[in-house]
Amino acid sequence: MALMECNFFSDTLGLCCSAKVILPQCTVSQIGLKGVVGSGEFPVLYLLHGLSDDHTTWLRRTSIERYASELGLAVVMPAVHRSFYADMASGYPYWTFVSEELPQICRSFFRISSAREHTYVAGLSMGGYGAFKLALRCPQRFAAAASLSGALDLSPSVMDWDDLGSDLRLVFGDPKGFDGSGHDLMRLARQLAASDGPKPKLWACCGTEDSLIEANHRFRDQVQELGLDFHYEEGPGSHDWGYWDEQIQRVLAWLPLPA
């Protein structure tokens, strides 16, 4: 695999940004890795970090580079700070950056596919929320999305916004405007189910000792009632990297990668 730090100026944000990028590489002498490179453009997984992390964390805390080495899969890991992948009420427009500008920049730099069937997104915690938000709001661009221990229900009726300090208010503004908005995954799922357009495959998991388990149950129950293509798993585990390192391997095995 080819691993690089991608630094670039974002016109959307008006500042310099960073992303870690893993690209398929055909190698015969790299010990312990079997590089696979298919013909044409690479399928791509946008892999999103959580609230307390940055674009380097998946590489530091898991073996994602090794797991992806035999799949011919590009992995893009952007930095979005504590934005919840939103155009922040008091901050930067990270939703526009991630959903529109980042894919264009990556395709201009690298041989990455723009085809829906070869484009996927996944993330943990805040990144699980971001992954499902991207898939539910942009179903015409993502074939599959996965959430690992995702913050899938941020409604102020069930989530103590003050528990996260000022983060949620800085991102979303007045809590009264959250439910039913374009930030509300429950509303987005209902909207997608009622549409006639493409519907991404969804995959979610959460540890039974994780504080976000009830939020995952609420999302699971609604999505299953809506009849979306949704796979859910839970088992022993908490909000930690031992659990996520194991689960990202299951996500990669589940992705509908080209043969």
Read off the CATH number of the domain in which 168 is found. Answer: 3.40.50.1820
In a domain, 230, yes or no: yes
In a domain, 128, yes or no: yes
pLDDT at residue 39, rounded to an integer:
66
Tokens 């519907």 correspond to 199
- The span from the CA of 28 to the CA of 242, in Å, is 30
In a domain, 232, yes or no: yes
**Cα–chain center distance at 161:** 22
pLDDT at residue 159, rounded to an integer:
76
- The span from the CA of 211 to the CA of 229, in Å, is 25
* Residue ranges of the chain whose pLDDT lies below 50: none
Q: Which residues constitute the domain of residue 87?
A: 2-254
Q: How far is CA 1 from CA 120, 121, 232, 258, in A?
A: 19, 19, 30, 18
In a domain, 259, yes or no: no
Q: What is the pTM of this model?
A: 0.95
In a domain, 180, yes or no: yes
In a domain, 224, yes or no: yes
pLDDT at residue 164, rounded to an integer:
64
pLDDT at residue 99, rounded to an integer:
98
Q: How many domains does the chain have?
A: 1
pLDDT at residue 157, rounded to an integer:
83
